[in-house]
Amino acid sequence: MRKNPISVGGQAVIEGVMMRSPSYYATAVRTPQGRIVIQKNRFVAMTHRFRFLNIPVIRGALNLVETMWIGIQSLTYSAEQAMEEEQPKTTRKGKFAQSLSILGSVAFALGAGFLLFFLIPLWLTELLPVENGILFNVVDGIFRLAIFLAYILLIARWKEMNRIFMYHGAEHKTIYTFENDQDLTVDNAREYTTLHPRCGTSFLLVVMLVSIVVFAFFGKPETWGDRLLRFAMIPFIGGIAYEFIRLSAKERFARFLAPATWPGLMLQKITTSEPTDDMLEVAIAALDACLDRQDVRLELSSSG
């Protein structure tokens, strides 16, 4: 029996992988000394704790926020492990400074994302003599998509990013192994592709496309209030994209939605790379740590 394809998710972090199951998330990191260290945390999504929130779109918006929070926690842990290996006697003050630096980097990244994927496309579109609201948003969406693709291509040329992409590939191979009911071993994981239809890269691409449709209902923004309203719609857009990805995971819809998921898979040819066996070991360690076998079975039986 094929396991629930949305019951486990993951993402690559610095020299490691974070995996999330219905009950836990775990971060496994390969330290500079070659050890694998693991942090496992209990985490139950708000949609599981409060069933009234488990409704389409709303659950996707909440999942987006929770994933960002968990990602920050995992990045912090990953950086702390690297620092402890290099400076074993690091003081509590030094660790706090390190955490503060990571939070600052995240805040900068969010600000840069707002500028690149929201303000600049709007500014470029406003330079053109486009008055029709629908056409304005189509052009704005094309600019946003072009900037997103250019950004992916640009960071792919950064050599240091290649290891992140390799860990990204390791995460996908490991999840495929789990979803196909195979033992979590390097030999089994090695056989799978690095391209996964429910990848974060695919999700972001869907967000870009959905935003064009949603913003079309708001017409051409004339004031800063109009612009901020569009920005406030991002969680709603993320929720719609989540529902699309979720739907594409169901076998009865997968073949019909395959053409729509194809662009995301092609984009993953840039954002994933073939991992080494030691990277697969890290991804397997993260997945194995976050799995509570009973909880996973319960998730399967309740989701149908």
Q: Where are the domains of the chain?
A: 9-303
- Confidence check: pLDDT of 6 > 70: no
Contact 273, 194 (CB under 8 A): yes
CA–CA gap between residue 197 and residue 193 (Å, rounded)? 11
Give the type of residue at 22: P
Model-wide pTM > 0.85: no
Number of H helices, E strands in the chain: 13, 4
List 18's β-bridge partners, or say none.
Answer: 11, 27
What phi, psi does 221 have (nearest 5°)?
-70, 130
Pick 102 or 198 by higher pLDDT: 198
pLDDT-derived band at 21, boundaries 50, 70, 90: confident
What mean pLDDT value characterizes the chain?
84
Asked whether residue 163 carries a pLDDT value surpassing 50, the answer given is yes
Residue-level pLDDT at 145: 94
